[in-house]
């Protein structure tokens, strides 16, 4: 009994739903009549079901026609209303911006050429020095003694050699030995003088002295850092450029550099060197620029914003709303003589206000940007804001 109750309840629900459907829709009643349901039963639920379907359809068609905003073209179809924007032009790869680090054109860490104790420091940080200028002095008492000793031995060897040459009592071999002894003494003196010279720490280049890293009395070796000297009359700025600029950048091209330490100032320079290979990890190439620093305003180690300019490549620019997609890729609708033509495009660069594309488009071509849902290939279109053509007199 429980199953029969459920079946009767389900039938009642279905019957109620069917009656409710007929009550809401006259078309539902006519459908049931056409299926063989007595018209009297259907009209009891919804009297409108007796009206002919043609009248309602005609009325709805008139309302649709009256509500539609598109006018018919000469062939009987409707022209789709669209908004358009003209094709512009844009340039890509016309500038390069990068961050680089500056370094002095010459930079040397000065180290002693001999080990010893610092007796004297002759420079301080910030001094301008010339090549060969003495920066510091090591203890040299022993070297002075050795030099004087070598001078005495040389003088003795010279006198002996001269005596042997003037006297006929000595053999040729003895004279030759005396000459060799003189030359040996001369070499010993030269070596002693070199050892004494190396007790002075001298500047190997012209430049400006950094912080002195030693004090008087320090014991130093040939690996001790005494001071750093920078020749910053020009700075070298190394920066990395994307791979697409590898062919465009040439030696001697102008460069502009700006430093956060000198806001508002731009320093002009040129490309000094371009690396011979692209880094496979970052797909960038190393470029070195040279910037004059005659006023000594810049320092080694500063960061620079480097800018370079190129002729660039020109591409058509379209509104971002105009780009459409299908199974074959991206395209735009070009409007020609109030007809829509599909133009395939390849996106080159996306900008906030325009997209640069590679396509068969000319500057000024009308491209549809709104109302694209109903546009079809070769279909008639009506441009928003355009005055309708005058109706010919009958």
Cβ within 8 Å of residue 354, ≥6 positions away: 88, 90, 317, 318, 319, 320
Tokens 């203890």 label which residue? 139
Q: Does 192 reside within a domain?
A: yes
Q: Does 75 reside within a domain?
A: no
The confidence score (pLDDT) of residue 7 equals 73
Q: Are strands 80-86 and 95-110 parallel, antiparallel or unpaired?
A: unpaired
Cβ within 8 Å of residue 270, ≥6 positions away: 252, 253, 254, 255, 289, 290
Same structural domain, 146 and 210: yes
Q: Does 329 reside within a domain?
A: yes
Model confidence, pTM? 0.56
Q: Does 291 reside within a domain?
A: yes
Q: Among 192, 220, 248, identify where a domain stops.
A: 220
The confidence score (pLDDT) of residue 247 equals 87
The confidence score (pLDDT) of residue 349 equals 87
Q: Which of 61, 27, 65 is nearest to 46 (CA)?
A: 27
Q: Among 200, 220, 240, identify where a domain stops.
A: 220
Residues 15-47: tens digit of each pLDDT? 777 676 666 665 666 666 666 666 666 666 666
Q: Among 264, 282, 312, identify where a domain stops.
A: 312
Residues 187-232: tens digit of each pLDDT? 999 999 999 999 999 999 999 999 999 999 999 999 999 999 999 9
Same structural domain, 240 and 300: yes
Please give the tally of structural domains in the chain.
4
Q: Which of 99, 106, 192, 116 is nearest to 149 (CA)?
A: 192
Q: Which of 351, 364, 348, 352 is nearest to 315 (CA)?
A: 348
Buried residues in 253-288 as b, exposed as e (16+ CB within 10 A): eebbbbbeeeeeeebebebbebbeeeeeeeebbbbb
Q: Does 393 reside within a domain?
A: no
Same structural domain, 123 and 214: yes
3-state secondary structure of 368: strand
Q: Is the pLDDT of residue 284 over 90?
A: yes
Range of the domain at 333: 80-91+314-383
Take residue 130 and report the two structure tokens written for it: 């010339």
The confidence score (pLDDT) of residue 373 equals 87
Specify which of 5-9, 77-81, 175-179, 224-228 reaches the highest per-range mean pLDDT.
Answer: 224-228
Q: Is the pLDDT of residue 313 over 50?
A: yes
Distance of alpha carbon 88 from alpha carbon 86, whole angstroms = 6
Q: Is the pLDDT of residue 74 over 60?
A: no
Same structural domain, 148 and 190: yes
Strand stretches in 140-246, DSSP E: 200-202, 207-209, 219-220, 227-242
Q: Does 254 reside within a domain?
A: yes
Is residue 267 a contact partner of residue 256, using CB atoms and an 8 Å limit? yes
Is residue 99 a contact partner of residue 304, using CB atoms and an 8 Å limit? yes
Same structural domain, 320 and 287: no
CB atoms within 10 A of CB 298: 23
Distance of alpha carbon 282 from alpha carbon 114, whole angstroms = 45
Distance of alpha carbon 261 from alpha carbon 304, whole angstroms = 9
Q: Between these two residues, 161 and 77, which has the higher pLDDT value?
A: 161
CATH number, domain with residue 371: 2.40.420.20
Take residue 101 and report the two structure tokens written for it: 């680090």
């Amino acid at each position: 009994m429980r199953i029969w109750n459920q079946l009767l309840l389900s039938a009642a629900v279905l019957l109620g739903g069917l009656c409710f459907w007929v009550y809401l829709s006259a078309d539902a009643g006519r459908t049931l009549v056409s299926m063989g349901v007595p018209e009297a039963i259907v009209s009891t639920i919804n009297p409108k079901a007796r009206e002919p379907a043609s009248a309602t359809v005609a009325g709805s068609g008139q309302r649709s026609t009256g509500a539609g905003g598109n006018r018919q073209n000469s062939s009987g179809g409707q022209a789709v209303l669209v908004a358009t924007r003209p094709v512009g032009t844009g340039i890509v790869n016309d500038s390069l911006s990068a961050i680089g680090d500056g370094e002095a054109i010459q930079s040397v860490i000065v180290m002693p050429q001999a080990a010893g104790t610092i007796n004297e420091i002759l420079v301080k940080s910030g001094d301008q020095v010339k090549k060969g200028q003495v920066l510091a002095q090591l203890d040299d008492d022993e070297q002075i003694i050795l030099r004087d000793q070598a001078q005495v031995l040389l003088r003795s060897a010279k006198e002996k050699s001269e005596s042997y040459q003037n006297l006929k009592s000595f053999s040729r071999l003895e004279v030759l030995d005396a000459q060799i002894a003189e030359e040996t003494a001369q070499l010993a003196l030269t070596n002693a003088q070199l050892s004494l010279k190396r007790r002075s720490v001298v500047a190997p280049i012209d430049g400006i002295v950094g912080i002195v890293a030693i004090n008087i009395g320090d014991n130093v070796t040939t690996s001790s850092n005494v001071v750093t000297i920078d020749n910053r009359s020009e700075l070298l700025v190394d920066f990395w450029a994307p791979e697409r600029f590898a062919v465009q950048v040439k030696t001697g091209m102008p460069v502009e550099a700006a430093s956060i330490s000198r806001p508002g100032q731009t320093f002009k320079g040129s490309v000094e060197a371009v690396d011979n290979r692209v880094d496979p990890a970052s797909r960038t190439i190393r470029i070195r620029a040279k910037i004059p620093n005659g006023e000594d305003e810049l320092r080694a180690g500063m960061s620079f914003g480097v800018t370079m300019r190129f002729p660039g490549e020109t591409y058509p620019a379209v509104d971002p709303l105009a780009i459409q997609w299908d199974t074959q890729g991206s395209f735009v609708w070009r409007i020609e003589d109030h007809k829509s033509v599909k133009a395939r495009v390849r996106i080159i660069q996306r900008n906030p206000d325009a997209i640069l594309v590679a396509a068969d488009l000319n500057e000024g071509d009308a491209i549809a940007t709104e109302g694209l849902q109903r546009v079809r290939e070769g279909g008639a279109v009506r441009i928003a804001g355009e005055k309708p053509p005058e109706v010919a007199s009958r």
